[in-house]
Amino acid sequence: MQIELTSTAAEKFIESFESENLNLDDTYLRVSANQGGCSGWRWELETNTQADIQEHDLTFVSNDIKILVDNDLFEEIIGPVTIDFSTKNLVEQGFIFVRQSGQQCGCGESFTPYKKSS
């Protein structure tokens, strides 16, 4: 169970890090969620440094990108997810989240909490 990035999404994050003059070795992508949106929770992405790592954070590495996520949020709300980047058209271009469990709204901006199978 983890958070993964497709190679396309990883390339976009690397481009973003470079455009902001961030060092790839010291930059982490934090995946988070807050209550809101039409399905109950909204995705959030931000950059962090090693100094931002908290005791309760999980760390994953996918396609050379280091990913942080709060353990409780991951276990109870987010669950396993693959982050991709869509280039369908200008309106639908951007990061998309492909979940193995839980529902997502049509716009892809919000989702229902992850439910572990017992």
98 is written with which tokens? 């492909």
With a cut of 60, say whether residue 114 has pLDDT above it: yes
Rounded to 5 degrees, what are φ and ψ at 100? Answer: -90, -20
CATH code for the part of the protein at 3-111? 2.60.300.12
Q: Counting beta carbons within 10 angstroms of the beta carbon of residue 81, is it exposed (0 to 12), middle (13 to 18) or buried (19 or more)?
A: buried
DSSP labels, 17-81: HHHTT--GGGEEEEEEEEE-STTSEEEEEEEEEGGG--TTEEEEEETTEEEEEEHHHIIIII-SE
- The yes-or-no verdict on residue 117 having pLDDT over 70 is no
pLDDT tens per residue, range 9-53: 999 999 999 999 999 999 999 999 998 866 678 889 999 999 999
pTM score, two decimals?
Answer: 0.84
pLDDT digits (tens, 9 = 90+) for 46-72: 999 999 999 999 999 999 999 999 999
The DSSP code for 14 is H
**Which pLDDT value is given to residue 101?**
59
